[in-house]
Structure 1
């Protein structure tokens, strides 16, 4: 499918504290979004939203990986170069 737009969301060098704030905030907002999706499904249909629960699990795993990278960067007194892009496409 054709990409409509590729947006450069994050592009810079950050110390471990800045990187932690940016990355964990983004992950936590996504986790909370999926929690709300699951709660909505429970209220409306009386069942969990398996897609949302799976995504929460994936995001929590990603948070673990991010924390490990941040701890290593802090221990080495290194900055982190972070780039993040969003691709937007139409879907049928």
Structure 2
């Protein structure tokens, strides 16, 4: 059995988004990513409240940061008049030593 690329490297870089999009598609793609992450943290907080009887402060803080970033993104597209945007988003995965 061969080792996967992930286990041979100390870091893995993946393209999440890499392309040129018209204004509406660019806004929709980014809005969906932000909303997905916001909902993830809301659900994580809800689960913490149900399971442990306490809120997940990290998730609440992160959801707030993401909502602010979403607002900035919406504001950006409200001001810009370009017909197309190049969007690049990379994901870096790094193992953390125990």
**Matched residues in 2 for 1:11 and 1:69: separation?**
19
Does residue 85 in structure 1 map to residue 85 in structure 2? no
SS in 2 for 1:19: helix
Poorly superposed stretches of 4+, deviation over 6 Å: none
SS in 2 for 1:48: coil
Gap regions ≥5 residues in structure 1: none
User: What's 1:13 paired with?
Assistant: 20
Gap regions ≥5 residues in structure 2: 1-8
TM-score, length of structure 1 as denominator length: 0.89
RMSD: 1.4
**Matched residues in 2 for 1:37 and 1:27: separation?**
15
Give the CA deviation at 1:11.
Answer: 1.0
Give the CA deviation at 1:89.
Answer: 0.8
Give the CA deviation at 1:3.
Answer: 4.6
TM-score, length of structure 2 as denominator length: 0.84
Answer with 1 or 2: which has the greater Rg.
Answer: 2
Higher relative contact order (CA 8 A, sep 6+): 1
Equivalent residue runs for 1:40-59 within 5 Å? 40-59=47-66
